[in-house]
Amino acid sequence: MQPWDGIEEFIATAETESFSRAATRLGVSTSHISREVARLEDRLSVRLLYRTTRRVSLTDAGRLFLERCRRLVEEREEMFAAVSEQDGAARGHLRLTCSIAYGERFIVPLVNRFLADHPQMSVSIDLTNRVVDLVGEGFDLAVRIGASLGDSRLIAVRLAQRERYLCAAPAYLAAHGVPAGLDDLARHACLLGTAEFWQFQAGGRLVEFKPRGSWRCNSGFAVLDAARQGLGLCQLPDFYVEPDLASGALVSLLEPHRPPAEGIWAVYPHRRHLSPKVARLVDYLKAHVGQA
C-alpha cells in the first residue's frame, strides 16, 4: 500500500458528497472509491465520513484531514507543474464550463482558435446554465457573467462587460404605445425568458421589475424572435439584440433606466501555482472576448 492511496478518492468524495459523483470525477468505479476510502479510514483508525443512503458528509476529523490533504495535493501538483512546465508551454487537458448561448456564440470559437495554436492541449467544454461547482466537479476554468463569487476557493479575472437592453418591435409600439417610465411596464406584454426579474436603474440605485406575460421560453434566441414578431417587450443582453437595434427591427426603450453593465469573468480555483494552460487561456480570452 502506497502512502497516497485513498487520498484523492477521499478528497473527491468529500467535495462531491457522493461516492458515485467522486467516481465520475476520477473516472473509476463507485466500488473503488468506497473501498479506498474505507482502507484509508482503517489506516488512520478514525472515521472520516458519515454515510447515509443519500449522501456522505465529513466528520470533525474528516474536515480537518480534508484541509491538510488539499494542501498536500496542491503542493504536489505545484511541484510537478514547476518541473514539467518550466518552459511555460500550455499543455495537458483543460475542463471549461460556460453558459449555453454565450458559450456557443463567443467562448467556444475563441477556445477553438486558441487550441489551434497550442497543439499540446486538449479540452472538454461543458455548456450549461447552472452554476457549476468548479472545485467539487473538477473544472479548471469557467466563464461567468455578472455573478458574485461567494466562494473563497475561487479567483475571478474580468474579461469584458455586456449591456442589457429593454426593447420591442416598432409594430408592437405602434399598437400599444411607448412606455414612458418604469411604472408603464406593468401594462405591457412582457416576453419571459430565464430571468425572474428585469433590472433597471432609477434614482442612482438598482431596481427590479417582475415581468408578466402570456409568452415564455428558456431560449434567448426564441425571446428575440418573439420580440421581432411584435409580441411584446423583452430585456436581453447586447449580443442578442444589437444587430436588430442597428437595423431598426427593434427599438431600445427607457434608455435612462438601462441597468449597469454586467461583468464577464474568467473564474478558476485558487492555487498558488497557476498552470500555464489556464493562465494562457485566460490571457487569450481577456485579449479577445471584448472584440468578439
Residue 286 has pLDDT above 70, yes or no: yes
Last residue of a domain, one of 55, 84, 113: 84
Residue 78 has pLDDT above 70, yes or no: no
- The three grid cell numbers given for residue 255, joined into one nine-digit string: 434608455
Residues 110, 39 within the same domain? no
Residues 125, 198 within the same domain? no
Last residue of a domain, one of 84, 106, 141: 84
- The three grid cell numbers given for residue 275, joined into one nine-digit string: 498552470
Full domain range(s) for residue 246:
164-257
- Better-predicted residue by pLDDT, 99 or 55: 99
Q: pLDDT band at 86, cuts 50/70/90? A: low
For residue range 32-41, what is the model confidence (pLDDT) as tens digits? 999 999 999 9
pLDDT of residue 80: 66
Least confident range of 49-63, 104-118, 221-235, 239-253: 49-63
The Cα 263–Cα 8 span in angstroms is: 34
Residues 144, 272 within the same domain? yes
Element (H, E) at 65: helix 60-84
Chain-wide mean pLDDT for the chain? Answer: 89
Whether 53 is covered by a domain: the verdict is yes
pLDDT of residue 2: 63
pLDDT of residue 1: 52
pTM (predicted TM-score):
0.69
Whether 1 is covered by a domain: the verdict is no
Residues 16, 139 within the same domain? no
pLDDT of residue 81: 61
Q: Which of 145, 144, 185 is nearest to 164 (CA)?
A: 145
Tell me the average pLDDT across 139-158: 81
Spatial neighbors of 237 by CB under 8 A, at least 6 apart, are: 102, 145, 162, 163, 164, 165, 220, 262
Here the CATH number for the domain that contains residue 182 is 3.40.190.290
Residues 275, 155 within the same domain? yes
Residues 13, 76 within the same domain? yes
The Cα 79–Cα 56 span in angstroms is: 31
Residue 82 has pLDDT above 90, yes or no: no
The Cα 272–Cα 76 span in angstroms is: 12
Where does residue 137 rank: exposed (0-12), middle (13-18), buried (19+ CB within 10 A)?
A: middle
Q: Are 196 and 210 in contact (CB under 8 A)?
A: yes
Q: pLDDT band at 275, cuts 50/70/90? A: confident
Tell me the average pLDDT across 99-106: 92
For residue range 179-237, what is the model confidence (pLDDT) as tens digits? 999 999 999 999 999 889 999 999 889 999 999 999 999 999 999 999 999 999 999 99
pLDDT of residue 76: 72
* Residues linked to residue 191 through DSSP beta bridges, in sequence order: 215
Residues 140, 79 within the same domain? no
Residues 282, 140 within the same domain? yes
Q: Are 96 and 142 in contact (CB under 8 A)?
A: yes
The values of phi and psi at residue 222, to 5°, are -70, -40
pLDDT of residue 84: 59
* Residues linked to residue 127 through DSSP beta bridges, in sequence order: 98
Residues 282, 157 within the same domain? yes
Whether 2 is covered by a domain: the verdict is no
Residue 18 CA: distances (Å) to CA of 5, 128, 136, 264: 19, 21, 10, 31
Here the CATH number for the domain that contains residue 275 is 3.40.190.10
Q: Are 260 and 201 in contact (CB under 8 A)?
A: yes
Q: What percent of the chain lies above the pLDDT cut of 70? A: 91
Tell me the average pLDDT across 115-137: 88
Residues 155, 169 within the same domain? no
Residue 87 has pLDDT above 90, yes or no: no
Residue 4 has pLDDT above 90, yes or no: no
Here the CATH number for the domain that contains residue 52 is 1.10.10.10
Residue 60 has pLDDT above 70, yes or no: yes
Residue 85 has pLDDT above 60, yes or no: no
Whether 277 is covered by a domain: the verdict is yes
pLDDT of residue 92: 81
Residue 53 has pLDDT above 90, yes or no: no
- Better-predicted residue by pLDDT, 264 or 150: 264
- Domains of the chain: total: 3
Is 191 strand, coil or helix? strand
Residues 247, 168 within the same domain? yes
Residues 203, 61 within the same domain? no
